[in-house]
Structure 1
Amino acid sequence: MPLYEHVFLARQDISPQQVDTLVEQFKGVVEANGGSVAKTELWGMKTLAFRIKKNRKAHFTMFNIEAPHAAVAEMERQMRINEDIIRFMTLKVEEFEEGPSAMMQKRDRDERKDRERGRRRDDEGGEFGAPVTGEEA
Structure 2
Amino acid sequence: MPTYELALMLRTMARPELVSTLKRTTDSIFSRGGFLRKLDFLGDKTLPYRIHKNSQKHFTGSAFVVTFDVPPKCISDLMEEYSRDVDVLKRQIFKIEEPSNAECLLGDELQPPAYRKEVIQMMKVAAKGQKEKYPQNTGLKYYPFQK
Measured against the shorter chain, the TM-score band is: 0.5 to 0.7
Report the count of equivalent residues: 95
Gaps of 5+ in 1: 97-137
How high is the TM-score relative to the length of structure 2? 0.59
- Whether the aligned pair in 2 keeps the contact of 1:42 and 1:62 (CA below 8 Å) is yes
Tell me the secondary structure at the aligned position of residue 73 of structure 1.
Answer: helix
- Kindly indicate whether residue 55 of structure 2 is the aligned counterpart of residue 56 of structure 1: no
Aligned-pair distance for 1:27?
1.3
Gaps of 5+ in 2: 100-147
Give CA deviations for 1:58-113 in whole Å, capped at 9, x if unaligned.
011110011112333322222111111111111111149xxxxxxxxxxxxxxxxx
Q: Compute the RMSD of aligned alpha carbons.
A: 1.6
1:3 is matched with 3
1:47 is matched with 46
Report matched runs for 1:1-137 at 5 Å: 1-12=1-12, 14-53=13-52, 54-95=57-98
Which of the two has higher C-alpha Rg?
2
Amino acid of the residue matched to residue 30 of structure 1?
I
How high is the TM-score relative to the length of structure 1? 0.63
Taking only the aligned residue pairs, the percentage that are identical comes to 21
Give CA deviations for 1:25-76 in whole Å, capped at 9, x if unaligned.
1211111111111000122211111111221100111100111123333222
Give me the whole-angstrom Cα distance separating, in 1, the residues matched to 2:19 and 2:39: 11
> Residue 32 and residue 15 in structure 1: after superposition, are their counterparts in 2 closer, same or farther (change >3 A)?
same
Amino acid of the residue matched to residue 32 of structure 2?
N
